[in-house]
Amino acid sequence: MIYGVGMLGPTLFEYGSAWQKQRFLPDIFNGDTFWCQGFSEPNSGSDLASLGCKAQLDGNEYVVNGSKIWTSEAHIADWIFGLFRTSSEGRKQLGITFLLISLSTPGITVEPLLLFEGTHEVNQVFFDNVRVPKSHQVGAQGEGWTIGKYLLGLERFGTAEVSRTKASLERLRQIAYAEIPGGTRLIDDVTFANRFFQLETSLHALEMTERRFLLGDDGSESLGAEASILKVRGTEIQSDVFRLTAEAGAHFAPIDLPRNIDDGQANLPYTTGSEARNYFNYRKTPIYSGSNEIQRNIVAKAKLGL
Ligand SMILES: Cc1cc2nc3c(=O)[nH]c(=O)nc-3n(C[C@H](O)[C@H](O)[C@H](O)COP(=O)(O)OP(=O)(O)OC[C@H]3O[C@@H](n4cnc5c(N)ncnc54)[C@H](O)[C@@H]3O)c2cc1C
């Protein structure tokens, strides 16, 4: 999943007009259009409701000015959905509107931001007098905060990424059990084995918790603070699995590790460098979808009454 983009479909299904559903949903479900998410701004990340990228109504069109930052895959996307300020009156949450904007509209510039492990994944998107038809407004004017929160709840649930972490752990298992000529199996190292099985147990517990939430009254749509709990735990375990995999690479570094360590079953492209890059890249998941610190605040407020 790319940062919440997969959650636009269900959000449009819930809040979109009949025309919007007909216009956008088929292409989304067929994978014919690629979307990016414009929520964060240079001075509005955790305090998202303070966002200031302006959309001013002019006849039947909005005129958008300002910028969005950390926009994943904006450089390859066709469209951007996002939250825009349509009023500065009253509570800041009430002046936000959800818009759908084609990235080919004149006045939009996408500038790359390189991550420190070298990948181009995120961008800053600039809007200079960008004209957006009012028919691309999702929900009512000023309802964007409610719609954005709905989307983020679904997204946090997805960011837990239990299935991906299960696949990563399986891969680590193959590495751990590999017989290296002249070397030892990593799994025979008690400290490593202890960490590996602790991770496996934690992941299993998380999967059971996720299933329990999913099979609850309204499934994933009823998730509030539960989505935050899954997001925090899911990204912590994910990060630990990638860290242990990178460390496994360090263990084998002095040995010329065969590229195909499972006897032809999976043909692992295993190098210390790629595992380290993976670990560094996935430092992002405790940050995006709302940082884990913010998720803890949400849980503390909703469940502990703090
Ligand atoms: C790789 C990557 C991809 C991203 N993709 C997208 C995207 O596609 N679209 C999009 O809209 N955004 C995207 N983001 C942005 C992401 O959602 C924000 O980075 C995140 O919400 C944090 O905001 P910030 O970076 O402004 O940090 P800040 O809000 O400045 O926070 C800085 C630090 O302070 C902590 N902090 C802040 N407030 C509190 C508080 N009240 N209590 C405790 N701790 C606090 C935070 O947890 C964090 O550790 C992406 C980010 C990354 C790293």
Pairwise CA distance, residues 58 & 63, whole Å: 7
**Which residue's C-alpha comes closest to atom 17 of ligand 1?**
288
- Residues 70/40, Cβ–Cβ less than 8 Å: yes
Q: Where are the domains of the chain?
A: 5-142, 160-304
- Facing residues of 96 across strands? 85
Residue 284 beta carbon below 6 angstroms from any ligand 1 atom: yes
- Residues 199/169, Cβ–Cβ less than 8 Å: yes
Q: What is the CATH number of domain 5-142?
A: 2.40.110.10
Report, as an integer, the average pLDDT of 55-77: 97
3-state secondary structure of 37: strand
pLDDT in tens, 4-20: 567 899 999 999 999 99
- Residues 299/231, Cβ–Cβ less than 8 Å: no
Report, as an integer, the average pLDDT of 190-201: 97
Pairwise CA distance, residues 147 & 109, whole Å: 26
Q: How far is the CA of 45 from the centre of ligand 1 (A)?
A: 5
* Confidence at residue 262, expressed as pLDDT on a 0 to 100 scale: 44
- Facing residues of 84 across strands? 97
Q: What is the CATH number of domain 160-304?
A: 1.20.140.10
* DSSP code of residue 289: T
Atom number in ligand 1 closest to CA 121: 1
Q: Got the DSSP string for 2-17?
A: -TTGGGHHHHHHHH--
| Mutation probe of ligand 1 site: the residue of 41, 51, 287 with most atoms within 8 A of C-beta | 287
The closest of 127, 126, 137, 128 to 61, measured between CA atoms, is 137
Widest CA span in the chain: 75
pTM of this prediction exceeds 0.75: yes
pLDDT in tens, 107-160: 999 999 998 777 899 999 999 999 999 999 999 999 999 999 999 988 888 888
